[in-house]
Structure 1
Amino acid sequence: MADPGAVVDDLHAEGEDLDRLVAGLGPEQWATPTPAPGWTVAHQIAHLAWTDEQAVKSATEPEAFAREAEKAMAAPDTFVDEAAARGAQDPPAELLKRWRAGRAAVRAALSAHPTDVRMPWFLTRMSVASMATGRLMETWAHGQDIADALGVRRTPTDRLRHVARIGVRARDYGYFMRGETPPAEEFRVELTAPDGTLWTYGPEDAAQRVTGTALDFCLLATQRAHRADLALRAEGADADHWLDIAQAFAGPPGQGREPGRSGPGGQGGGAA
């Protein structure tokens, strides 16, 4: 299990990186469409702000969060979009202020929360480390949408290890969400980190293997790039199929990106 304090610190750093990307944008740039249909840069930040607020409520007011989650689950196909749309109507300066306040509140709430007490979340319960990791994954993934919309190529960091870890651990989830039975055997995953070191998961002698860069794997698992635009390699039919259905996020399978439309960040592995 990841050290909760280290993950919370990395979550803070990920938010600061994205803050630097959007802080100087003019009003017209906040209205720039992103690869998520119907979502502008403002929608992306509004979604992060709303989800951070829910994380704080989960950590500090679990009963109030449970009521909020119940309402959200009553409209599972619309509540995320509706929350983003409401927030996107705020002036950019107010939205940015709200998001910054939420990030600070998440950091404080998770730092103070007992590490052995799980928090309620949508259809599950989360430890401090898993909540911080989930928030970091979302911040990175939605930040990628914003970077792609603005034509910015971000420099990958070793914080991707958190996103990669979720992607590997969530292997079976992609099968379940499609009504498929996941393979019984573990896969071997070998990813080249931004600093050139190797991150490895699963048995070294596994027959089913996935190799490539950590950036490409994270882009795939968060559906921020199409597999055809990435340089991930699979050995074995099961591993090959997994790369078609992998998802590190909760909820139904998304539509993902069309080939050739992955944006500047979707070419991390130098795919052919």
Structure 2
Amino acid sequence: MILDTMRMRYFTRIAQLGSLTRASGELGVAQPALSLHMRTLEEQLGTQLLNRTSRGVTLTEAGETLLSHTEPILRAIAQAEHATREQAEFPTGEVVLGILGSLSPALGIPILEECRRRFPRIQLMVSEGDSQTLKSALENRSFDLAVTLGDVAKPSATPLFEEALYVVGPPGYFDKSLETMSLSEALALPLILPSQRHGIRIILERSAAMLGLSLNIAWVIEGVESSKAAIRSGFGLSILGRGAIHADTVAGQLSSVKIAAADASRFLVLDMPTNHPPTRAVMEVRKIVVETVVALGRRGHWTAMV
């Protein structure tokens, strides 16, 4: 290429200053070398660019034409360099984070708040879904990250936490002296559960089969908030993770008892696509997700594994 960035910069500064001597001093290039660059450029372009006089240089018509192109090009290059450096310091861009619907009430807002505080230029969107929906969204790259069940995630997913499951009822349903309940007792209760594509339903079906039992399903309701509303209205009980019910139990809107069986818990992971490299913004959000999980783990929401 005849007109590389270096020659554009040399020519433009000479034209702006009207002097080879002054341009030589500013550019840190010896004047004979600078003159040689310009003569070579003129020869390769087949036209004279500079009128050389004892008082300096002026532009020919061809030189004016070239300058009208080199100035915006160099300005765009400088802006690109600035934007790239700024991106390294202040990451920008859109990031879509998927979270299991039952975890979103506990995880979503803390992650959004921390991202807004630390990286205001990142546009973070949190989307709820069941484990199969999150898996599909990662596979087609609709989501950049997903907090989902380890059972459906890729082997490369990062372990996040183990969450205990609770039997959930209306306010005051359980005796205050009741600290835990066996899994077999929980499965015999009239349960409000989601369809079989949901993680908790999968865990409970598997656990029931291992015990030689079956689920006592009173109602099939999709959506955590709809299920909790049905519980409060007396339609039945449910089995949910602590993160989904913590705020409700603290506020006295629901009551709950922890299921004692070791197999009545679920393992959550942070999954992401493997078929394209993550952006800086995605990696920063990933760090925030992990830090939020650890912080909530210290408050007793779950047992963090990171």
TM-score (norm 1): 0.25
Decide which structure has the larger Cα Rg and report it.
2
TM-score (norm 2): 0.23
Q: Which has the higher contact order (CA 8 A, sep 6+)?
A: 2
